Amino acid sequence: MRSVVLSLVALGLMASPALALDGQRGFLENCSACHQKDGRGVPGAFPALAGSKVVRGDPKEPLGRILNGRGGMPAFEGELSDPEIASILTYVRGAWGNKAGPILAEQVAGQRKTARRENAKASLQAH
């Protein structure tokens, strides 16, 4: 079991440069118009991602925001795949002095399923 874990960690470390490049490109294409290329956001309009406690904290919070949107932020659930979201969030969690771990596509998929179940329950309760 330990060798499997070590192998997965090694794979993650080897894949990081490619994920970072894809994540940076994804960020620039989908997020930088609001959060800016340097992650500093626009005060009073779009929050900074550089130094953000949300970005560096529990992955469920930023994953939920990316998938479902929040405030004026659009939902990307139907726009981006699990690997795309994982690579963008991995990039953001490691850019601009943020020092948080990577996000895996499996984490995105799990959050996506949880959100769908919660939304389904909420809509049933409303009727």
**Residue 107, domain CATH:** 1.10.760.10
Look at residue 3 and tell me if it is in a domain.
no
pTM, full prediction = 0.77
Contact 20, 90 (CB under 8 A): yes
Look at residue 10 and tell me if it is in a domain.
no
* Among 45, 28, 44, residue whose Cα is nearest residue 36: 28
Look at residue 11 and tell me if it is in a domain.
no
Look at residue 4 and tell me if it is in a domain.
no
Look at residue 8 and tell me if it is in a domain.
no
Look at residue 2 and tell me if it is in a domain.
no
**What's the number of CA atoms in the CB half-sphere (13 Å) around residue 106?**
1
Look at residue 30 and tell me if it is in a domain.
yes
pLDDT (0 to 100) of residue 16: 56
The H or E element spanning position 110 is: helix 105-125
Look at residue 5 and tell me if it is in a domain.
no
What's the rounded Cα separation, in Å, for the pair 27 and 93? 11
Domain count, the chain: 1
pLDDT in tens, the chain (127 residues): 544 443 344 444 444 555 566 999 999 999 999 999 999 999 999 999 999 999 999 999 999 999 999 988 999 999 999 999 999 999 999 999 999 999 999 999 999 988 765 555 444 455 4
Q: What range does the domain containing 108 cover?
A: 16-125
pLDDT (0 to 100) of residue 40: 98
